[in-house]
Amino acid sequence: MRNYSSLGYLTQVFIILGLVIAFVPENTTLPYKLSAGEMLEEIQIGSEFIHPDELADLIINKDPSFQLIDVRSTDEFQKYSLPGAINIPLNLILADEWSDILNQDTKMNIFYSNGSTLAHKAWMIIRQVGFENNYLLQGGLNYWLEVILNPQKPKSTDPNDEFAKYNFRKGARQFFETSSPSTGNVREISAPKPIIKRTKKKKAPQGGC
């Protein structure tokens, strides 16, 4: 699995955070709920990320406690999307029509884009106005394709848990290739470069927009 704790990624996140703060106006019906410092603390913890393995398991088991939110453009969504996802382009993320989906505590919303940048922007905006129970797919669709649809066989010297992951991913790939006619039409990009609410924190990962 990739190392998602590099200085470069944190620098990228800081830039996104600045853009998000500028994006959300102060005097609206959705005022700031978190300060920039509180947002930064959450980002450094990294508890907003869902690994592709975890998402694949949720989809395969038809878990009713999550909802996928595709924040890419409508054109990209129509070309390829994950099973059951709904399309809320980033520029519409604060539209009233989506507030009941984004501001609730019944299901876990999982944002995704091609990489991580757009989805992370969406998550930051939603968190800054105080909505909870929202997460994002680690590494986006690019990482999803790498991990789930093109799993790499471990070396013979790798620990047993790596083989367990590989076997799960092979089964998941078969499931998604069988259930979806389109499995690889995702644009690779080089971005500068639930359920019920979680309480357990995870180490911070980094991802690809």
Q: How far is Cα 88 from Cα 139, in angstroms, rounded to an integer?
A: 19
pLDDT at res. 58: 95
Residues 92 and 68 in one domain: yes
DSSP 91: G
Could you tell me if 93 and 62 lie in one domain? Answer: yes
Residue 199 vs residue 137, higher pLDDT: 137
Rounded-to-10 torsion of CA 151, 153, 158, 164: 60
Note down the domain range covering 169: 146-178
Max CA separation in the chain (angstroms): 59
Does residue 13 lie in a domain region?
A: yes
Residues 104 and 49 grouped into a single domain: yes
pLDDT score of 192 more than 90 = no
pTM of the full structure? 0.72
Per-residue DSSP letter, 147: I
Count of domains in the chain? Answer: 2
User: Based on the domain organization, do 151 and 124 belong to the same domain?
Assistant: no
Which range, 38-42, 44-48, 90-94, is most confident?
90-94
Q: Is residue 156 part of a domain?
A: yes
Same domain, 174 and 92: no
pLDDT digit string, tens, across residues 87-115: 999 999 999 999 999 998 899 999 999 99
Question: Which residues lie across from 109 on neighbouring strands?
Answer: 67, 134
Q: In this structure, which amino acid lies at residue 142?
A: N
Tell me, yes or no, whether 104 and 133 share the same domain. Answer: yes
pLDDT greater at residue 203 or residue 138: 138
Going edge to edge, which strands form the sheet with 49-50?
49-50, 134-137, 108-112, 66-70, 86-87
CA distances from 152 to 11, 57, 127 (A): 29, 18, 35
In this structure, are 98 and 163 located in the same domain? no
Q: Is 133 left (phi over 0), alpha (psi -120 to 50) or beta?
A: left
Residues 63, 87, single domain; the answer is yes
CA 67 to centroid of chain Cα atoms: 11
Q: Are 121 and 157 members of one domain?
A: no
Q: Are 125 and 94 in contact (CB under 8 A)?
A: yes
Is residue 47 a contact partner of residue 134, using CB atoms and an 8 Å limit? no
Asked whether residue 43 is domain-assigned, the answer is yes
127/160 same-domain check: no
Pairwise CA distance, residues 170 & 112, whole Å: 22
In a domain, 44, yes or no: yes
Long-range contacts of 89-92 (CB under 8 A, 24+ apart): 90/118, 90/121, 90/122
> Which DSSP category does 70 fall into?
E
- The answer to whether residues 125 and 156 belong to one domain is no
CATH code for the domain of 112: 3.40.250.10
Report the chain's mean pLDDT, rounded to a whole number: 77
**136 and 153 in a common domain:** no
| Better-scored residue on pLDDT, 68 or 201 | 68
The lowest-confidence range among 16-25, 54-63, 140-149, 182-191 is: 182-191
